[in-house]
Amino acid sequence: MATEGGRGRPGDGGWTVSAAPARLKKAAEASVRRLGVDATGLYQLHEPDPAVPWAESVGALRELLDAGTIRAAGVSDVTTAQIRQAHQILGDGLVCVQNQYSPAVRDSEPELRPSERPGPAFLPWSPLGGISRSPLDGPSGPVSVGTAFHRVAAGRGVSPQQIALAWLLPRDAPGTGSRPASITDSAGAAELTLNAWELRELKALPPNGAGL
């Protein structure tokens, strides 16, 4: 069971960021009550709050771990320096880092590299990026040839989503789409091993959205 804290919905359709320690702890305790469990398996800090020192927000996760309210902690939308500071405070209690990362958005390459961060798993959000908007074509239908991911998919007879996930998996960045059809399709990525030519083709795709 996983949940997040550090964001709010003021009622106008927007979002707020609020990672003050008291608010984080209150939200985590409320989640436990609503879920009807003894503890939340994973509690993630949604994003750093610019109005609150990072160490204080992460310190609240430490207190929740020590109290047994949560069993593991994660952080999202963070820099390498913030990951290292969180690891110093949480130790083995920090189990994951969740940043945006996909073929189209590669800004988190430093946070993804194990040599640049401590041991927590890297969980990309929006892992398919612009490719998620492509039709789920494959053996039963034509595949668009708009990007290198689509061209490689056409050669394999699979969906571009499968190629995107096969590209992500060796980077220790697992992920899937949000629709039931895409989740089922994504499972096939585990059986794909991209060859050297395909990897060169995919590497040539301009990062951060160009061409998607």
More confident residue, 131 or 35: 35
Give the angle 16-107-177 at the CA atoms, nearest 5°.
70
From CA 20, how far away is CA 49, in angstroms rounded? 8
CA dihedral 151, 128, 158, 139 (to 10 degrees): -110
Q: What is the layout of strands, in order, in the sheet containing 2-5?
A: 2-5, 42-45, 73-76, 94-98, 121-122
Q: Does domain 1-98 have CATH number 3.10.450.30?
A: no
pLDDT tens per residue, range 119-174: 788 887 776 665 544 444 444 444 344 677 788 888 888 887 788 788 777 665 55
pTM for the whole thing? 0.69
From CA 79, how far away is CA 72, in angstroms rounded? 20
Q: Which of 12-26, 49-63, 75-89, 178-192 has the lowest mean pLDDT?
A: 178-192
Number of other residues whose CB lies within 10 A of the CB of residue 125: 14
**In the chain, where the domains are located:** 1-98, 128-212
